[in-house]
Amino acid sequence: MSFLNYFVNPPGLKEYDPETFSQKMNEEGSKVVDVRTDGEYSRSRIEPSVHFPLRTLPGATEKLDKTGKILLVCATGHRSRAAASILLKEGFQDVSHLKGGMLAWRKYKKNTP
């Protein structure tokens, strides 16, 4: 994987702010996939989500539905971009990520009644 995959949105990746991400995760066929480390995931996570650390994702794509809506999340948005590159190359059609990652999510949740 190229270092640039962490900073450049691959073609086909949708980017959502926390409010839109929250709406999308409740849509039929959506699955939140957290690509952070085990330690990060154990401290906090978006429920419901499944956990596939970025380093394990290439071997775990068969556990995800290629026709479903995949919503990726990491700490800041960089690893989720890299994960999107992997999934899009594997033929996933509907891939998005949380712009700003868990940092943006926590700020949003703190300011949302």
Domain of residue 41, CATH code: 3.40.250.10
| Other beta carbons within 10 Å of 72 | 29
pLDDT at 9: 82
| Contact indicator for 80, 98 with CB cutoff of 8 Å | yes
d(CA 30, CA 7): 24
pLDDT tens sequence across 11-46: 999 999 999 999 999 999 999 999 999 999 999 999
pLDDT at 113: 76
28: phi then psi, degrees, rounded to nearest 5? -55, 135
Could you confirm whether 66 is annotated as catalytic? no
15: nearest Cα among 87, 84, 61: 84
95: nearest Cα among 76, 57, 67: 67
One-letter amino acid for residue 19 of the chain: E
Catalytic residue, from 33, 35, 73, 74: name it: 74
Full residue range of the structural domain in which residue 18 is found: 3-110
Number of domains in the chain: 1
- pTM for this entry: 0.93
pLDDT tens sequence across 38-84: 999 999 999 999 999 999 999 999 999 999 999 999 999 999 999 99
